[in-house]
Structure 1
Amino acid sequence: MPRDTPRWLIAGAGGQLGSDLARVLRDQGVPDSHVLAASSSQLDITSSRSIAAAFTDFDPTVVLNAAAYTAVDKAETDEERAFAVNASGPALLAAAANRTGARLVQVSTDYVFSGDAREPYRVDAPTDPRSAYGRTKLAGELAVRELAPDLSYVVRTAWVYGASGANFVKTMVRLESAHETVQVVDDQRGSPTWSADLARGLVELARSGAAPGTYHCTGSGDTTWHGFTRAIFEELGADPARVLPTTSDKFPRPAPRPAYSVLSASGWLGAGLTPMPHWRDALRHAFAEDAAAYRPAAG
């Protein structure tokens, strides 16, 4: 196979975003032979040997890293493992990409910021993570940009949900069918992001002539978790008044949650990339496209 034929390696393909990346490439007509969608059991990004084997056997020209340690609370007492997956693994991928000339797209998070801003975070805003998860993801960002500065994209996103795996939307769907009312925090603000939209954006970025660097990609617009849940209830045909507002101090967690997670899309739009749909429209499309994944189980 000629080296100029795009070959896509997806790390973390068994997860929420990884499965959508594989689906997007398939929907765009990329042959299966040009895609290696590797789950964590097939490609251990914390192992230099595993990465070397994947690069030798498949010789990717684009690497989409959707592998991550995302157990935010557990990371507070398991930071070593979180660092291995979120920082050491991306560093190994970046080193391999730099050796072979492959483009690398590294997915990161709003948690690299303090969460106390009052306007959308630009890509060059000072980072100040307040959790182990945020610290390890920031370390991964820095490693990728240092080791593959001319070949890498770091893409921060937030509030991601999709058809595969567990996520906030599925949790609220379950609670709607089990409780008359639900209490949801109304003092954390961000931009819900449908993983299918995010996957399309990442593939577009990897194919584009955009300059290597850091970008933000989330659903457009913003809301609170309370507002997001009301919209979820609306999609279910349930009364959104059953969603009651509360505050974060009523639900203490081991890891602090950012009060403000809105990310500026100015860099994304400035690079000529397609604007992300508004989060409310995306939620409607998600329920329409993957209805079975977001509906309560029958019986």
Structure 2
Amino acid sequence: MPNILVTGSRGQLGSELRELVNNNAIFHFTDRSVLDITDQDAIKHFCLEKDIEVIINCAAYTAVDKAEEDEENADRINHLAVKYLAQIAKEREIRFVHISTDYVFDGTNFMPYVESNRTNPTSVYGRTKLAGEEAIRKINPDNTVIIRTSWVYSTYGSNFVKTMLRLGKERDTLGVIFDQVGTPTYARDLAQAILDIVPQIENKEVEIYHYSNEGVLSWYDFAKEIMKMAKLECKINPIETKSYPTPAKRPYYSLLNKAKIKETFNLEIPYWKDGLDTCLRTMGERK
């Protein structure tokens, strides 16, 4: 039974992984209080002591707007810590799954992004996440994959779905951006995909894959469907990005092409409405 280290275990994805695991492996779910992944010596000690054979890195600095004024910390978690994990993966021949983001792109495409498309991040968050990817590829540990995802939500943590549910109960109307397009990712669906992928990983060069739920929509469409499924009376009005300025620039187009991950690992990816339905039912909000 392999020993599997999951970092960022209190986040959305790490929490969903914890819900899904079975007894065929020994999982070590860690957060900063257990393992500080910005401490290279601490990582080495933990991996040696626990005889870690797989690392699933769910840890990230995800406060996109805050990162604009906190680049040093964002870089420590999204880049340097990832570099340290890749180094121990290389030294110990550990399988390594790292979660990245659509923010490595600038959002100016008109076709769904494939893994080989040129990266061009427009925010500190995107730049630090790309730096983490580049560190992994430079170190190039065997049996390593990078999974880029988008618009993650879950029954855990803070996210768009929870915010819409709260505001939908408090307000009669709400303005939501309609000119940013992509696909939501239900963290539990991604977590299940990771568990399905791990036993199949076998590659000499680092491979990048894209994963989100199926379909395409705007944040406005997403909010409308949340209100519909939860039977909330809040009216959703479409607004432009320029009407809702934020410190960090968001990609206008975040649609990810998932053909590679589906073909390589024989995955069936759920439709976004099905993921939302499951999430809301789990939360007791589906009416």
After TM superposition, the score normalised by the length of structure 1 is: 0.92
Compute the displacement of 1:239 (Å): 4.1
In 2, the alpha carbon distance for the partners of 1:169 and 1:138 equals: 26
Compute the displacement of 1:286 (Å): 1.1
Compute the displacement of 1:272 (Å): 3.2
Give 1:29-44 correspondences, 5 Å limit.
Answer: 29-30=23-24, 34-44=26-36
> 1:12 corresponds to which residue?
8
For residues 66-106 of structure 1, the C-alpha deviation after alignment (integer angstroms, 9 at most, x for no partner) is: 00000100111111110000000010001001111110100
The answer to whether the Cα contact below 8 Å between 2:97 and 2:146 also exists between their aligned partners in 1 is: yes
**SS of 1:70 mapped into structure 2:** coil
Cα RMSD for the two superposed structures:
1.5
Give 1:218-237 correspondences, 5 Å limit.
Answer: 218-237=212-231
In 1, the alpha carbon distance for the partners of 2:44 and 2:210 equals: 29
**Number of residue pairs aligned between Structure 1 and Structure 2:** 285
Compute the displacement of 1:16 (Å): 1.0
In 1, the alpha carbon distance for the partners of 2:212 and 2:202 equals: 18
In 2, the alpha carbon distance for the partners of 1:106 and 1:121 equals: 19
In 2, the alpha carbon distance for the partners of 1:151 and 1:135 equals: 25
In 2, the alpha carbon distance for the partners of 1:49 and 1:272 equals: 34
Give 1:9-158 correspondences, 5 Å limit.
Answer: 9-25=5-21, 28-30=22-24, 34-158=26-150
For residues 170-190 of structure 1, the C-alpha deviation after alignment (integer angstroms, 9 at most, x for no partner) is: 000000000001100000001
Runs of 4+ residues deviating >3 angstroms: 28-31, 209-212
The answer to whether the Cα contact below 8 Å between 2:183 and 2:213 also exists between their aligned partners in 1 is: yes
Compute the displacement of 1:24 (Å): 1.6
Unaligned 5+ segments in structure 1 are none
In 2, the alpha carbon distance for the partners of 1:218 and 1:201 equals: 10
In 2, the alpha carbon distance for the partners of 1:161 and 1:85 equals: 21
Unaligned 5+ segments in structure 2 are none
> 2:249 corresponds to which residue?
256
In 2, the alpha carbon distance for the partners of 1:23 and 1:50 equals: 26
For residues 200-230 of structure 1, the C-alpha deviation after alignment (integer angstroms, 9 at most, x for no partner) is: 1112121114544000010111100000001
**SS of 2:56 mapped into structure 1:** strand
Give 1:182-201 correspondences, 5 Å limit.
Answer: 182-201=174-193
Give 1:167-206 correspondences, 5 Å limit.
Answer: 167-206=159-198
**SS of 1:8 mapped into structure 2:** strand
**Percent identity over paired residues:** 38
Counterpart AA for 1:109: T
For residues 96-142 of structure 1, the C-alpha deviation after alignment (integer angstroms, 9 at most, x for no partner) is: 01111110100000000010111100000000000000000000011
In 2, the alpha carbon distance for the partners of 1:196 and 1:106 equals: 16
Indicate whether 1:287 and 2:273 are aligned. no
Counterpart AA for 1:246: I
For residues 228-281 of structure 1, the C-alpha deviation after alignment (integer angstroms, 9 at most, x for no partner) is: 0011001211247x1111100000001001000000001112203312101111
Counterpart AA for 1:256: K
